[in-house]
Each structure stands twice: as C-alpha cells, then as structure tokens.
Amino acid sequence: MHTKRSLTGDRPTGRLHLGHYIGSLQNRLELQKKGYDQFVMIADVQALSAQAEHPEKVRENILELALDYLAAGIDPKKTTIFIQSLVPEIAELTVYFLNLVTVLRLGQNPTVKTEMVEKGFTKTVPAGFFMHPVNQAADILAFRSDVVPVGEDQLPMIEQTNEIADKFNRIYKKTFKKVAPLLSKTPRLPGIDGKAKMGKSLGNAIFLADSGKEIREKVQKMYTDPKHIHVSDPGRVEGNTVFTYLDAFDPDVKEVQRLKKQYQEGGLGDVALKKRLAEILESTIRPIREKRQKLAKNPKAVMRILEKGTEHARTEAAKTMHVVRKAMKIDYL
Ligand code: ATP
Ligand code: MG
C-alpha cells in the first residue's frame, strides 16, 4: 500500500453532480489507481450543522451519496468509505482544535463567508456551522492526510487546516504534516445558469444520476451569449457556459477549438452546439447512471460497505488520537 494518505468528503445534502465529478471525484479515482491510502467521508456532521432541523434529509442522502461514489468508480476494496458521525474521534479532535483558533479568524474564512450568504445565515449562523473549518481540519488531520482532492472553493479550508496543524505542532509536539490540496484542471465548474459554482443546494446542477432527458433539458436551458440570435451572428466564447462545459468534458480538444472559431466568426448555432454537449455529457453520465441503478437494488450491501469502511476509519482515527493525547499531556491513565 502507498504510504501517502488522502482524505476528502462530501456533505450528504443531495446527489453528486458534474461539479463534484470534474472538480474532485476524478482526482480521487486517480489517487485510487495510484494506490494511495484513501479515505472518502460522508460528512453528515457537517451537513447537520447547516440543517439541524432536517435530520431525515441527511439520513436519506447517506445511501444516495454512497451509491454515487460506487457508481463513479470508488472501489471499497481500495478506498475506505465511511460516515463522519460514527467516528467520534473526529468530534473529540475538533474540540481540542477549537482552542487553537480565534473567533475572529473563523469569521474571516472566505468559504464560510460565501456559504453563510448562500444559506441565509448572515445574522443567524449556528455556532456549529461557523466553526466547521475546525471540524474539517479535524477530519483531515485525524487521518494524517498528505493530500486533499477538492474544488477551488475549499482552498481556504486547507489553509486553515495547515494553520491549526502548525499551531498544534508548536504548542504541543510535532504531530501533523503539512497538507496539500489537489485541484483538477476544472477547479470550479459553473452551474447551468452560468453562476459561479454548480452546487447541489443551488438548483443549477446536472446530477450523476440524471436521465438522458434531464440532461438534454438542462443543456437546453444553459446560458450562452444573449446577443447570438441567428446562426450567422458572431458569438462570444468567453463566459459562454456551453463552451466552459465543452472545455471540461469534451475529449476532442482540437474540435472544440474549431467550434470556438466558427462560433466567434458566425455560422454555428446554439442548437447544434448544445446537441454536441448533451451527447458528450450523456456518454459521461450513462455508465455511472446504469451502474447506480444496479447498485440501488441492494441497499443493504451498500450499507454493509459503509459499516466496514467506518470500522476501519475509526481504528485509524483512534491511532491518531492516541498520539494527540500524548502530545497534549492528557494521557493520564
Ligand atoms: P452544497 O450546495 O451542499 O454546499 P456542494 O455541491 O457545494 O453542496 P459539497 O459537499 O459542499 O458540494 O462539496 C464537496 C466537494 O466537491 C468539495 O471538494 C468541493 O470543492 C467540490 N465541488 C463542489 N461543487 C463543485 C464545483 N461546482 N466545481 C468543482 N468542485 C466542486
Ligand atoms: Mg459546497
């Protein structure tokens, strides 16, 4: 087994979408192939921090998320998939880490700031949500990860994790290594509405479980160039969501270059362009969707995978806590 560790997670707040796939999942598959000791976490504690009053939604999305992982190619024989709340060592580490962070610093975290606006939390943010960067630091460091394959929105979280690790090492004892983010070539996929980020809670996502019809309908709605009305009109490529997606998903880079040129000069219609994109997305998603449908027939087997993964994750996190308690001089008995 590779000596390098990787940890990532997703909140069980909905199904996975193309943003996850291109921004993080593909890199996880790559690390899996390279033999990294990889952990993939279903971040239910974090999901609850934003919707404590809807535990049923978090619960139902545990299986959905696990199905997405397995269908996309995460192999439980090579990667440990686990549920965050069932590894209480992470909660314990979070509490100790909270002493190493100021409230002021938490309020400056750009990811938290953006998410607070998205979730309407500017005046009513739960303390648990406000401090979730600390919880994320505990997730990553409980497994002493070297690398975290994430989307661009998560970079401030990795920065804060390294700050916490540094402070812990300085105050107590050198325990944690520096963690590096692993970004993909599309670190932020915009939504079909052309907005900054595709997000599962933002109503602008194409999901890995979407049908061919849903994909076509969503691509139809995509934002292009509002001034490009007739096929013969010259059109804009920059900020044109269809081209952003072709850049991300179309394997034929040369052809995309040719299409861009044709679009800019005039003579390429949105209908033809969108047809191409819908077909490419369908060929990306179809095998995932089909595998997902098969796996969904046996939810018990999927839950058993999570049970085994969680057991292993807990053992590994407990090893870290042993070292942490010693470093903090709280290994009394
Ligand atoms: P939510 O709307 O609940 O915040 P989300 O769609 O943003 O959901 P998260 O669970 O917050 O998904 O993110 C999981 C991982 O996927 C993170 O590493 C994040 O950076 C990455 N990711 C999410 N959306 C995108 C995107 N549009 N482009 C690239 N990476 C993304
Ligand atoms: Mg998010």
Atom of ligand 1 nearest to the CA of 13: 3
Q: How many domains does one find in the chain?
A: 2
Between CA 232 and CA 263 the distance in angstroms is 9
Q: Which residue reads 């997703």 in tokens?
A: 10
Average pLDDT, the chain: 96
d(CA 146, ligand 2 centre) in Å: 22
**Is 143 a member of any domain?**
yes
Name the residue with the closest Cα to ligand 1, atom 7. 199
**Is 198 a member of any domain?**
no
Q: Are residues 155 and 223 in the same domain?
A: no
User: Could you give the C-alpha distances from 294 to 65, 67, 119, 299, in angstroms and in order?
Assistant: 15, 10, 34, 10
pLDDT for residue 3: 85
pLDDT for residue 195: 87
Residue ranges lining ligand 1, Cβ < 6 Å: 10-11, 13, 19-20, 23-24, 150-151, 153-154, 187-189, 197-202
Q: Are residues 221 and 315 in the same domain?
A: no
**Is 333 a member of any domain?**
no
Q: Are residues 181 and 166 in the same domain?
A: yes
For residue range 33-64, list pLDDT tens digits in order: 999 999 999 999 999 999 999 999 999 999 99
Residues 6 or more apart whose Cβ sits within 8 Å of residue 6: 28, 31, 36, 37, 38, 39, 145, 146, 147, 148, 149, 182
Could you tell me the pLDDT band of residue 201, with boundaries at 50, 70 and 90?
A: confident
Which CATH number does the domain housing residue 44 bear? 3.40.50.620
Q: Is the pLDDT of residue 285 over 80?
A: yes
For residue range 126-176, list pLDDT tens digits in order: 999 999 999 999 999 999 999 999 999 999 999 999 999 999 999 999 999
Which CATH number does the domain housing residue 215 bear? 1.10.240.10
Q: Are residues 110 and 239 in the same domain?
A: no
The residue range of the domain holding 216 is 210-293
**Is 166 a member of any domain?**
yes
pTM exceeds 0.75 for this model? yes
**Is 196 a member of any domain?**
no
Q: Are residues 277 and 322 in the same domain?
A: no
Q: Is the pLDDT of residue 74 over 90?
A: yes
φ and ψ of 278, to 5 deg: -60, -40
Q: Are residues 109 and 258 in the same domain?
A: no
d(CA 199, ligand 2 centre) in Å: 6
Q: Are residues 144 and 226 in the same domain?
A: no
Between CA 272 and CA 276 the distance in angstroms is 6
pLDDT for residue 279: 97
